[in-house]
Amino acid sequence: MKETKINYYNQSVSEVLKGQESSQDGLSHTQVEENLTKYGHNQLETKKNTTLLQKFIAQFKDLMIIVLIVAAVISVFVGEGVDAIIILLVVVLNAIFGVFQETKAEEAIAALKELSAPQAHVKRDGKVETIKSEDVVPGDIVLLEAGDIIPADLRLLESAGLKVEEAALTGESVPVEKQVNVLTDTNLPIGDQKNMAFMNSNVTYGRGSGVVVGTGMKTQVGQIANMINNAEETTTPLQNNLTQLSKVLTGLILVIAAIVFVVGMVRGNESLINMFLTAISLAVAAIPEGLPAIVTITLALGTQRMAKRHAIIRKLPAVETLGGTQIIASDKTGTLTQNKMTVEKVFVNNQLHDTADVQFKDYPYNHLFELMVLNNDSKQTGEGLIGDPTETALVQFNLDKGEDVDKLVQAEKRVAEVPFDSERKLMSTFNELPDGRYLQTVKGAPDELLQRATFYEFENDVKPMTDEERNLILKTNHDLATQAIRVLGFAYQIVDEVPTTLTSEAVEQELTFAGLIGMIDPERPEVAQAVEEAKQAGIRPLMITGDHRDTAAAIAKRLGIIEEGQDDAVISGTELDALDDETFAKQVKQYSVYARVAPEHKVRIVSAWQKQGKVVAMTGDGVNDAPSLKQADIGIAMGITGTEVSKGASDMILADDNFATIVVAVEEGRKVFANIQKAIQYLLSANLGEVLTLFVMTMMGWQILAPVHILWINLVTDTFPAIALGLEPAEKNVMKQKPRGRKSNFLSGGVSTNVIYQGLLEGIITLAVYGIAIWFPVHASYAQSHADALTMAFATLGLIQLFHAFNSKSIHGSIFSATTLRNKFFNWSIVVSFILLAATIVIPGLNDIFHVSHLDLYQWAIVGGASLSMIVIVEIVKWFQRRFATR
């Protein structure tokens, strides 16, 4: 039966208390025990985790792993125990790595639990008690003050200037001013539920109390934990590509091996055991047993390079996934912006200035900057400024301008105040001046302030407030507000004594207006450039935030996510709720900015784009981002400001919280994909050449290459050069190309065609060398001629693959460039591989083990020339490919 959702913000205090069977004095201890039994402890639940053994066994269900195990068994059967050990070692290492990654992912919920407040102050039986937060139950009366972490979801009963920072839950950058009045609107987003306080939020200012209406999994954070638990595990494009490739290779292996076996038996020239060994040789030749290891090594090397550029990869496939990213859905607060209120505009002397242009010496008679410090409750500590973000921004502005804030506060000490309240939207203080009089400072909403101002300050004079002046101030306030800038007004008056009645009506009258301060959570300076680079790379950036629509739109325009006049590209969480999934899926491409959204909205947005076939990256730093980070193809968490929850649910962490690092990571991801693609083209074309050689030799009834020859060629040529291709530098204009998308795979972009013709070419050249050696023998002995032909085919098949490794340095580009020999590891890998290949022929004793003969210079010249022709032919084909592609 579906649980009925209760909107506590629509209920009065008395209704909520009655519903929770509580009172202003709190629960009795008997009720606490009953509720503890009924609702359980105030803790988050996790889904039952599988054991390490179960996780380990599950890793072997992958098709490529099964193929590798078969290859290992085959290697053992033909007596190549060393090769079998290497293959099995790769399999086990991959399984261990998979278990490690799965275990790390489960830490997301554990991190949520660590966020819980360690203690809570509650009222029970009319007495205040301090208890563990896990012992809080529905109906408890929780007392709140600045610095507290809220232990559960509360319906507020009292609020004395209470402000709560909810950025980690809602994404809103400014602390929310709380109230206790009933809210009549229904379906309000979390950020607008002003009479509620939510688990794990922080009290930044004031005090208050509330009755617990939700604990554990029944809280907003609990709902997020539930979404993480129930999120579907998505497979990355890399995993999909490897699975698809495994299926193709498996089919190819079975078909070719069966054909060769049947044809050989029909011909009757070979025994059953010899044809079985031949079929095994073909299977070994077809299986690129080094592919998983090469992919893993290439990804690991990419991970190391990205770590040096502040992008920490938690899951290896994420490196490749980044390269295919088509959508970056980014949280605003703390990701695109600095999550730090900053003074950006100053209106003084009837002029609006950027803060960079303001120098205090230019305004010796104005009180504005003095008022910013005196009408302020923030404090300086060894760890920096502490207090409400708005107030710390005002002090920081003065500090940045070289003002001695502490000296000013000490010289003009506060003696009285009229605290801020949300109805009048003002705050006043009285500070003692050196001459014995008192300076009354007032700050607050400009429109409210102007109703009480009868004068205004202009340069070194005080003038009567006029309608013209008032309209100018209001227009400035409006213009700034439309730019998502938060505006505070400042006024003052000097009095001989502090009034005995400290009320707004008594003291906040006949004020002198001093100026306006415009503040904003500014965008990170490098983000606009990063957004532009992302667009050039064919990536669409989205902004998702808990802030209001106007704020979100203004920041998005400043960053270039949307342009002026694109207001229809902005949608709010409430508007999103009004759309069903089908309608939203049709309209999702219209929206680039999502404002006032809840956690479930973020998951819905990511899912909608994924249903469009897009590869989606999601960035975030808060608890509210965790479900969408897990849902996305790649979740990116902030390393500095990010919660442990968001990090645990992510695939990548930005160590510097720099959005621009994402673009760097995308470039690295594209390079990794390109390098893996090069390695796959190289391996598959080489293996196809081997298969073709063995297949034709069998069909012709020729003496064929033995399994030991194929295994040695695979070991020598498939390992070092393929790994070295993973170290290739990025090709030009890699970030000017469109993302390859979800449907792309390692065989797309002309790779499949290249694999086929290059593999056929390798096989044809090898068979040609074999034929030349047979038809134009160096020795008169028939047996020796066949031995030489077999050796020359063996040497050609190995050497041609080493030359072909140079072809594979670019899928379509020419290797004749200044960068061809830049990769020193690649150069050495070719040298080492050649030595290992040649050693089996030229070193006495080894040639007997490998059943090959010595070759003279004439024979080596044929082998070398034939192998080198591979580069010439492929370069000609590439030239035609580029020419037709340009046309």
- Euclidean distance between CA atoms 805 and 627, whole angstroms: 43
pLDDT in tens, 244-292: 666 676 677 777 777 777 777 776 666 665 666 666 666 666 666 667 6
Burial of 435 (0-12, 13-18, 19+ CB in 10 A): exposed
Contact between 476 and 327 under an 8 Å Cβ cutoff? The reply is no
Q: Which residues are within 8 A (CB) of 700 and not within 5 positions of it... i.e. 6 or more apart?
A: none
Question: Quick one: CA dihedral 63, 327, 886, 673, positive or negative?
Answer: negative
At 82 the pLDDT is 55
Integer Cα distance of 201 and 624 in angstroms: 11
Q: Does 547 participate in catalysis according to the annotation?
A: no
pLDDT of residue 143: 92
Q: Which region among 231-235, 526-530, 569-573 has the lowest average model confidence (pLDDT)?
A: 231-235
The residues with which 542 forms a beta bridge, in sequence order, are 329
Nearest-angstrom CA–CA distance, 371 and 398: 11
Domains defined along the chain, listed by start: 8-46+112-216 (2.70.150.10), 52-105 (no CATH), 241-309+667-733+741-886 (1.20.1110.10), 321-338+524-657 (3.40.50.1000), 342-520 (3.40.1110.10)
Q: pLDDT value at position 691?
A: 81
Q: How far apart are CA 548 and CA 858, in angstroms?
A: 80
Token pair 């004031």 is at which residue? 206
Q: Which of 148, 153, 192, 331 is catalytic?
A: 331
Residue 603 CB contacts under 8 Å (≥ 6 apart), including other chains = 227, 231, 627, 628, 631
CA–CA separation, 833 and 828 (whole Å): 8
CA angle, residues 643, 645, 647, in degrees to nearest 5: 75
Q: What's the per-residue H, E or C state across 103-134?
A: HHHCHHHHHHHHHCCCEEEEEECCEEEEEEHH
Contacts with 356 (C-beta within 8 Å, 6 or more apart), sequence order = none
Q: Which of 369, 363, 409 lies closest to 385 in space, CA to CA?
A: 409
Q: Which two tokens stand for residue 463?
A: 């003038």
pLDDT at residue 114 is higher than 50: no
Block residue for tokens 């992958």:
62
Confidence band (pLDDT; 50, 70, 90) for 105?
Answer: very low
SS3 state at 177:
strand
Q: Reply yes or no on whether the pLDDT at 887 is more than 60.
A: no
The CA distance from 132 to 218, in Å, is: 18
3-class DSSP string for 129-159: EEEEHHHCCCCCEEEEECCCECCCEEEEEEE
- According to DSSP, the β-strands at 616-620 and 327-331 are parallel
Average pLDDT over residues 193-198: 91
- CA-based nearest residue to 241, from 55, 58, 63: 63
Statement: residue 659 has pLDDT above 90 = no
For 311, 442, 455, 538, 649, the CA distances from 531, given in Å and listed in that order, are 17, 41, 46, 11, 24
Residue range 570-612, pLDDT digits in tens: 998 889 988 888 889 889 999 999 988 876 788 889 989 988 8
Give the integer Cα–Cα distance in Å for 224 and 195: 21
Q: Name the 3-class secondary structure at 277.
A: helix
d(CA 250, CA 563): 51
- Residues 622-657 have pLDDT tens digits of 666 777 888 888 888 877 766 666 776 788 888 777
Contact 139, 31 (CB under 8 A): yes
Crossing angle between the packed helical segments 527-536 and 549-559, to the nearest 10 degrees: 70
Structural contact between residues 678 and 262, judged by C-beta atoms closer than 8 angstroms: no
Count of positions (residues) in the chain: 887
Q: Write the single-letter amino acid at 577.
A: D
Q: Which residues pair with 619 in a beta bridge?
A: 330, 636
Please provide the average confidence, as pLDDT, over all residues in the chain.
81
What pLDDT, in 10s, does the model give residues 760-814? Answer: 999 999 999 988 888 887 776 767 877 888 889 889 999 999 999 998 888 888 8
91-103, pLDDT tens digit by residue? 676 566 556 545 5
Q: How confident is the model at residue 884 (pLDDT cuts 50, 70, 90)?
A: confident
- Confidence (pLDDT) at 271: 61
Q: Which contacts of 394-399 are long-range, i.e. CB under 8 A and separated by 24 or more positions?
A: 394/343, 394/488, 394/517, 396/342, 396/343, 397/342, 397/343, 397/355, 397/372, 397/517, 398/369, 398/372, 398/373
Please report where in the chains the tokens 């909205």 appear, as a residue.
601
Phi-psi region at 724: left, alpha or beta (left = phi > 0; alpha = psi -120 to 50): alpha
Other C-beta atoms closer than 10 Å to the C-beta of 674 total: 21
- Is-above-0.75 flag for pTM? no
